[in-house]
Chains A and B, each alone.
Chain A
């Protein structure tokens, strides 16, 4: 990539964009208020196309929906690039000035003809060509994506393929054009910003940069491990090899949320020590040796979170937490004291000021400034800096602001690791629905009139072939396990595709099915593509 770490654009920009390409995102359900901004853009005269294996609620707002095969994103992106180049719609001045690797890229995408892409994606060549032209000729254009791009074994390559399109057309680094990954939780962005990545220190400073490391060692008064740590998936691999035997989990529920969850639970059980800090007694917490009850971050604690437009915002305590629970920072501080490190009992603001002293991109964001107004978008390097509405403006500067030109990436279409076979002939993909959230621990607490449960949605064509009727209970199996589910038949779902949500592990242990093939660069598992089989229940008819 070209040095990102965050979405390039502000929400406001999508309201003014000429063209929006929604790719692998059902923002209507998963990011409803962001989608309001998209809808404002459409109302203002903008156009939207949607690329998604399913015609989601979001895709229904699109002028054109392209229902690609699961995992064929790179084939599509490369073919779009090839078509843009072939039709001479690429921005040659921008490419020459701001990028490197164009020649190799042209050569690399040469085999990705429209016909090739049509056969790989299942979408006809004419529609792909139309999309290429619409994107390239738009005055401003944004590509928005979510887990439909990243939850693949090659999620990072998927992202890079989308970045190529922006570099090819100059749709990045200026108002209205950009690349916007939407974050799934209120502080995914903030977690990364704070260095909760295996190879980063806070503020995206590299752990193997000795100058940066020394700065942190001086500030913290302790030597720091200079080696990159493990990402989540590698941790589980290390647990399997018994190289990692103790685990401290804060606010995650991997015993429900991980792909191939049976395997995960075995690993957690086999640990020498499992500590879970959470607001609930989750399934993961039930496996723990020690549970540290925490207060609710957004309603019972003070602090900050960072949104998908890199906006650092204040969270505040509105309620007294239940007795016996403590704030996360307090628990960690007390643990440190027990470990013999004399950390002071401290406030969130004090911690934030420490961060500001170490992370240049946060330096200008005092609590006072965050309290006034709506927070600030990083980078915000000094206290007079207004924050940054969009990233990579340097691409358009005379001297590139001292940066290296942005590189094109060469990516290859592979498709999902787990191929559909005669034994497992259907493709299972997963996603969120509007009124529920992740493993459901937070959304089970209110009674939603629109809660739809956890049905397996399949095409009417597959239903016919398998002689299934609406509401029938079936056995759903992947190479890793089986669960019992209820079938919901959809007239507009592609043949061969099955969809369900993961919000109700207490009802259906869905991640028994999902595939833990993971991306070597990000560690994200391929939740979006498992191969499954549907069998009628033996000796039992309808539910």
Chain B
């Protein structure tokens, strides 16, 4: 770009080599001593490499050195202040040399892990001399307390793979999305094909684009991330756009505390996601897909990377999918520790090499999304539903579930649960039935947090709640991402509330006033009244904060930052004189 000023800080040889390998088309090209290509647009085209570059640098030394950052910024012509602003946005990046050598051990201290004595676990690791960081949910709630070891490229290989844990899933209530779990070899395209893989794409190509969109629309499939937007409508809008470039984005930045379904989909059946995205691309005329996956999901990332590579080799991705039927590429991007990047527009900014701050909507992604182009964003669970819809049709898809919530849903059950894990169930199942199957002693339940941190608490009288969009909506609850976190009667709910408030305070991007300051004040107030009964003015204060965050924040993070806390009051779980 322009008259940027870079510092004199130099990268080491390894950092230099990493950046050089990353930037294949540099924004400034010295064609000769007298001709140089440059300018703003070329710099803009290269900027999406910033996030992968930061990952490479951070993995190289366990932190991002000033020399490395400066060299990356110069190579991409990103202003150094902006490169610093982006790097400092993410939890997984260190900008100062760590006091302690060795990989960073992230221990989750959110609800389910806290119940499993996460702080004791962290203390134990510290005692072993590990570099420990206590942080938000790692999406391994079924194996609490969860640990993620952020390995450096110099660390031994087995270190990097400690993220692999026991796969706990249960398909006794329904078995569609979990069909291949445990049967298919997630690292083998051949195995995927032997288990029915790529039949759906074949069918899709046979019936054509219009028909696929019609099927998805009539199936009644809606988004499984929480907002439940009709998938067919998104696809239709993007398909209708006559834009030079359109994108499909798989949002696998699953960060809602208590949620781990998309990680398990990718770990167990990665080709299903690739196939479903390919169908989306085919149906809507998008020639490029992006998968944005949580930075903490190392096993899933590894498997996905291998699956994408195999799909390319088999001609199932690339310029001639299915012998020239169409073009579809997939690029993988890793998040770096920021809950907010699961918000679709923050996710775009993150991919594009900007801070993961949500954009204002409208314009919606289907009009102006990634790189300003019409974009479909769906999460992996939503996408893989398309495979069955394409293969078996609308009637079969709608044969389970409720009329307004057809099909099945994945539930991530954790906390005070006998058999934590991933459960598939037809929509409409009463909550207590799910809990019983998961080995919960219903009479011991103090509360269930449905939908993660952004969700709501349910008190025992509400455990008959039907698990459908309409069923939850009727009682002012939300399915959210399908996180079901169970708290038994001996849990101190105040601690849970304080931690929830801390989570939002830590994860607010800081962009808008209601959320930046509101989440901070909410946490402060809860800390002050913790263990006591809130007085009237404190109740009013919390309620005012809830109002301004809910009404006036830019995005869903702020809108829901007080929901769980407020629901604990309205359900009578806390704050009642006994």
Q: Chain A: residues with CB nearer than 8 A to chain B?
A: 28, 42-43, 48, 55, 57, 59-68, 121-124, 127, 492, 494-495
A42-B39, A60-B3, A63-B42 given as contacts; is B33 within 8 A of A127 (CB)?
no
Tell which of B2, B32, B41 touches A60, judged by Cβ atoms closer than 8 Å: B2
Interface hub of B31, B39, B40, B41 (most chain A Cβ within 10 A): B39
**B3 — nearest CB in chain A belongs to which residue?**
A57
**A45 — nearest CB in chain B belongs to which residue?**
B41
Tell which of A43, A57, A66 touches B34, judged by Cβ atoms closer than 8 Å: A66
CA distance A63 to B35 in the complex (A): 10
Offer 26 A-B interface pairs, CB within 8 angstroms, sorted by A. A55-B36, A59-B36, A60-B1, A60-B3, A60-B38, A60-B39, A61-B2, A61-B39, A63-B41, A63-B42, A64-B35, A65-B35, A65-B36, A65-B38, A66-B34, A67-B34, A67-B35, A121-B34, A122-B33, A122-B34, A123-B35, A124-B31, A124-B34, A127-B31, A127-B35, A494-B34
B396 near A: Cβ within 8 Å?
A: no
**B4 — nearest CB in chain A belongs to which residue?**
A60
B 1-60 contacts with A by CB, 8 A: 1-3, 30-42
A28-B3, A127-B31 given as contacts; is B40 within 8 A of A61 (CB)?
yes
Which chain B residues border A123 with CB–CB below 8 Å?
Answer: 34-35
Interface hub of A59, A65, A67 (most chain B Cβ within 10 A): A65
Cβ proximity bits B333-372 to A, threshold 8 Å, 1 near / 0 not: 0000000000000000000000000000000000000000
Interface hub of B31, B34, B36, B42 (most chain A Cβ within 10 A): B34
**B40 — nearest CB in chain A belongs to which residue?**
A42
**A450 — nearest CB in chain B belongs to which residue?**
B5
Task: Verify B38–A495 contact, CB threshold 8 A.
Answer: no
CA distance A28 to B2 in the complex (A): 10
Which chain B residues border A64 with CB–CB below 8 Å?
Answer: 35-38
Secondary structure call for the B interface = mixed
Which chain A residues border B39 with CB–CB below 8 Å?
Answer: 42, 48, 60-63
CA distance A67 to B38 in the complex (A): 13
**A130 — nearest CB in chain B belongs to which residue?**
B35
Q: Chain B: residues with CB nearer than 8 A to chain A?
A: 1-3, 30-42
Which chain B residues border A495 with CB–CB below 8 Å?
Answer: 33
**A58 — nearest CB in chain B belongs to which residue?**
B3
CA distance A66 to B2 in the complex (A): 16
List 14 additional contacts besides A65-B38, A121-B34; criterion CB under 8 Å. Answer: A48-B39, A55-B36, A61-B1, A61-B2, A64-B38, A65-B35, A65-B36, A65-B37, A67-B36, A123-B34, A123-B35, A124-B31, A124-B32, A127-B35
CA distance A64 to B32 in the complex (A): 11
CA distance A140 to B106 in the complex (A): 57
CA distance A457 to B269 in the complex (A): 61
**A122 — nearest CB in chain B belongs to which residue?**
B34
**B5 — nearest CB in chain A belongs to which residue?**
A450
Which chain B residues border A127 with CB–CB below 8 Å?
Answer: 31, 35
CA distance A127 to B1 in the complex (A): 20
**A239 CB, min distance to chain B CBs, angstroms:** 41
CA distance A65 to B28 in the complex (A): 11
Which chain B residues border A55 with CB–CB below 8 Å?
Answer: 36
**B39 CB, min distance to chain A CBs, angstroms:** 4
**B29 — nearest CB in chain A belongs to which residue?**
A64
**B203 CB, min distance to chain A CBs, angstroms:** 42
- Pairs A-B, 10 closest by C-beta atoms: A67-B34, A57-B3, A63-B39, A65-B36, A123-B34, A127-B35, A61-B2, A122-B34, A60-B2, A60-B3
CA distance A57 to B3 in the complex (A): 5
**A20 CB, min distance to chain B CBs, angstroms:** 11
Task: Verify B37–A66 contact, CB threshold 8 A.
Answer: no
Interface hub of B30, B35, B37, B42 (most chain A Cβ within 10 A): B35
**B421 CB, min distance to chain A CBs, angstroms:** 51
**A31 CB, min distance to chain B CBs, angstroms:** 14
CA distance A127 to B31 in the complex (A): 10
**B36 — nearest CB in chain A belongs to which residue?**
A65
CA distance A67 to B30 in the complex (A): 11
**A495 — nearest CB in chain B belongs to which residue?**
B33
**B526 CB, min distance to chain A CBs, angstroms:** 45
**B28 — nearest CB in chain A belongs to which residue?**
A60
**A470 CB, min distance to chain B CBs, angstroms:** 12
Which chain B residues border A28 with CB–CB below 8 Å?
Answer: 2-3
Which chain A residues border B33 with CB–CB below 8 Å?
Answer: 67, 122, 494-495
Which chain A residues border B1 with CB–CB below 8 Å?
Answer: 60-61
**B368 CB, min distance to chain A CBs, angstroms:** 15
Tell which of A62, A121, A124, A494 touches B38, judged by Cβ atoms closer than 8 Å: A62
Which chain B residues border A68 with CB–CB below 8 Å?
Answer: 34
**A464 CB, min distance to chain B CBs, angstroms:** 14
Task: Verify B38–A63 contact, CB threshold 8 A.
Answer: yes
Which chain B residues border A65 with CB–CB below 8 Å?
Answer: 35-38
Which chain B residues border A48 with CB–CB below 8 Å?
Answer: 39
Which chain A residues border B32 with CB–CB below 8 Å?
Answer: 124
**B35 — nearest CB in chain A belongs to which residue?**
A127
CA distance A66 to B32 in the complex (A): 10
**B245 CB, min distance to chain A CBs, angstroms:** 15
**A481 CB, min distance to chain B CBs, angstroms:** 30
Which chain A residues border B31 with CB–CB below 8 Å?
Answer: 124, 127
Which chain B residues border A122 with CB–CB below 8 Å?
Answer: 33-34
**A26 CB, min distance to chain B CBs, angstroms:** 10
Which chain B residues border A42 with CB–CB below 8 Å?
Answer: 39-41
CA distance A495 to B38 in the complex (A): 20
Which chain A residues border B30 with CB–CB below 8 Å?
Answer: 492
CA distance A60 to B2 in the complex (A): 5
CA distance A55 to B33 in the complex (A): 10
Task: Verify B36–A43 contact, CB threshold 8 A.
Answer: no
